[in-house]
Amino acid sequence: MAKIQTPQPVRGTQDIFGEDQERFSHVVETFERVRRLYGFKGVEMPVFEPTAVFARSLGETTDVVSKEMYSFEDRGGDSLTLRPEFTAGISRAFLSNGWQQHVPLKLSTHGPLFRYERPQKGRYRQFHQLDAEIIGAGEAAADVELLCFADQLLHELGIADGVTLQLNTLGDAESRDAWRDALVEHFQAHKADLSKDSQDRLERNPLRILDSKERQDRPIADSAPDIDAYLSSEASGFFAQVTEGLDACGVSWTRDSRLVRGLDYYRHTAFEFVTDRLGAQGTVLAGGRYDGLIESLGGPATPAVGWAAGIERLGMLLEEPKSIGPDAVFVPLGEGCEAAAQRLMNELRRANISCEMAYKGNMKKRMQKANAVGAAHVVIIGENELANGVAAVKNLETGDQREIVLTGLVAALAKK
């Protein structure tokens, strides 16, 4: 018979298991706890949207839209795209559902995203993000609150050391346009020395040259004019309010006047939390203010600010997780013992005590299983024990073994 080929995973996808999965869950659980402290409501979003949702809002010329989207025609002939980011879909939902009535609206979500990128460590084609957005608030206080949330999250994950907040302002539309003209002039003068990609960007998206990772672009990008000379007084006043708020909260930051974000919709505040512990994949959390986005989707002018963080990248920075085994593993041996164990385990779990059963094998095999999963106790129920209404409970840490009456098991195993 011909051998059946086992299917391969799609390139750039991950099957997250074991320690990696524990890291992943820990990041998500910490995020879910901290977002409540800041009053962010959870929202669940579709994984795909009409292609126009991303094409219009991210900007046709951005890398994500021009090279990285998973777009396809469905059976009805509609062009759909697997979401490459959350913000555009959340903005679409804001408009579809009339959430204007709730502004300012603080929303958070997490889940998978899809980008056709060159896979490497910390860069996948299906990856996962945490996301936080404040929609309908033009106040600098919203930027400050979001950044405090991000900073607290990194502290609670225990990874704040070695991660720095780099902050910039892209000004309002007026400042940004004036700066853009100055940049174009500067880059035109050095056009011949720019990389091929950056020569293209000069026509389509000159700000992105500042962000270029090509070595030959760096001296030209580094000598480009700062936005500061082009900031309107309103825009610099806004930025000052953001930095004063951060200082008041003790959130440390550094100014990076070269920081621009990859997507077209950003205004005013732009930021990244960066580490040098992940090589080229050093940005763990990034975002900014996107006051123009909802309008670009045909909605009313609506100021908004948000960030997203890569769950895998945060997970890689975590200390090695302590794997926590169950409070007890049950070993039923003999007639009627399995049913008794099942009943007792139900009782324990309802009392918040975790337990598992070693399903089969002799005593030795089952004890090995209990050790392998890192159980705190083994509960042995044999026919004799059952007849006497007791169980033999062994503490795997100390090696002590005692007889406990079945009615006292919950009390004996309850967490102190």
Would you tell me which residues interact with ligand ATP (CB under 6 A)?
85, 115, 117, 122-124, 127, 129, 262, 281, 283-286, 308-310, 312-313
Nearest distance, CB of residue 20 and ligand ATP, angstroms: 13
Nearest distance, CB of residue 31 and ligand ATP, angstroms: 13
Give the residue with the Cβ less far from ligand ATP, 133 or 327: 133
Nearest distance, CB of residue 310 and ligand ATP, angstroms: 2
Nearest distance, CB of residue 260 and ligand ATP, angstroms: 10
Q: Are strands 283-289 and 304-310 parallel, antiparallel or unpaired?
A: antiparallel
Give the residue with the Cβ less far from ligand ATP, 259 or 386: 259
Nearest distance, CB of residue 118 and ligand ATP, angstroms: 9
Whose structure tokens read 């706890």?
33
Nearest distance, CB of residue 312 and ligand ATP, angstroms: 5
Question: Residue 37: which of 106, 136, 103, 86 has the closest Cα?
Answer: 106
CA angle at residue 139 from 41 to 246, to 5 degrees? 85
Nearest distance, CB of residue 259 and ligand ATP, angstroms: 11
- 92: region left, alpha or beta (phi > 0 left; psi from -120 to 50 alpha): alpha
Q: Are strands 283-289 and 390-395 parallel, antiparallel or unpaired?
A: unpaired
Give the residue with the Cβ less far from ligand ATP, 118 or 350: 118
Give the residue with the Cβ less far from ligand ATP, 246 or 309: 309
Give the residue with the Cβ less far from ligand ATP, 122 or 326: 122
Residues 6 or more apart whose CB falls under 8 angstroms from that of 58 comprise 64, 65, 84, 85, 88, 263, 264, 265
Contact in structure between 168 and 259 (CB atoms under 8 Å): yes
Give the residue with the Cβ less far from ligand ATP, 112 or 382: 112
Tell me phi and psi for residue 398, to 5 degrees: -95, -20
Give the residue with the Cβ less far from ligand ATP, 84 or 332: 84
Question: Residue 128: which of 276, 270, 23, 53 has the closest Cα?
Answer: 23
Query: Hey, what are 313's tokens?
Result: 């990248």
Q: 76 - beta bridge partners? A: none
Query: How is residue 215 annotated by DSSP?
Result: G
Give the residue with the Cβ less far from ligand ATP, 117 or 214: 117
Nearest distance, CB of residue 16 and ligand ATP, angstroms: 12
Nearest distance, CB of residue 10 and ligand ATP, angstroms: 14
Contact in structure between 141 and 245 (CB atoms under 8 Å): yes
CA 11 to chain CA mean position, Å: 21
Nearest distance, CB of residue 238 and ligand ATP, angstroms: 22
Query: Hey, what are 364's tokens?
Result: 């030795």
Give the residue with the Cβ less far from ligand ATP, 313 or 377: 313
Is 395 in a helix, a strand, or coil? Answer: strand
Give the residue with the Cβ less far from ligand ATP, 291 or 312: 312
State the distance between the two ends of the chain, measured CA to CA, in whole angstroms. 59
Nearest distance, CB of residue 67 and ligand ATP, angstroms: 11
Query: Hey, what are 30's tokens?
Result: 């910490």
CA-CA distance, 58 to 43, in Å (whole number)? Answer: 21
Does a cis peptide bond (omega within 30 degrees of 0) precede residue 104? Answer: yes
Question: Residue 169: which of 301, 284, 266 has the closest Cα?
Answer: 266
What is the number of the residue whose Cβ is closest to ligand ATP?
310
Contact in structure between 286 and 307 (CB atoms under 8 Å): yes
Give the residue with the Cβ less far from ligand ATP, 230 or 269: 269
Question: Residue 140: which of 167, 110, 179 has the closest Cα?
Answer: 167
